[in-house]
Structure 1
Amino acid sequence: LAYVKAAKEFILKLYWDQNPDEKVICSHFTCATDTENTHFIFTAIKDTILQSNLKKSNLI
């Protein structure tokens, strides 16, 4: 399954290449049909966005 690892690294590199300011990128690979993992990912994304917005607004 070396091709799977290579594909993941390729996709992640595409994101890093579009990140000139070196902002935080948290990667997590999962299967979209794994609803528990998908829920975890979307919850983490929402939390990250909320934390960022609270910091920008000087609320934390």
Structure 2
Amino acid sequence: MARKRRAEATRHGWIKVTDRNGVSSTGRACRRYEITPAGIEVLKTAKTEAEWKAERERAS
């Protein structure tokens, strides 16, 4: 699920690849990402888990 969400965030311009010099916990090469200014703006308006839960309960 994380790969799909990462791809979605990249597509929306919320994160971008910083470099490809990272090393994973298993010692393999990996990309490193950073949040963009657009991503920071989205985070400011994002709902918390409690807000999502309350919305689901109201809808039920």
Q: Same fold (TM over 0.5)?
A: no
By relative contact order (CA 8 Å, sep 6+), the higher-ranking structure is 2
Instruction: Give the TM-score category using the shorter length.
Output: under 0.3
More strand by share: 2
- TM-score, normalised to structure 2, is 0.27
Q: Which protein has the bigger helix share?
A: 1
Q: Which has the larger radius of gyration?
A: 2
TM-score by length of 1: 0.27
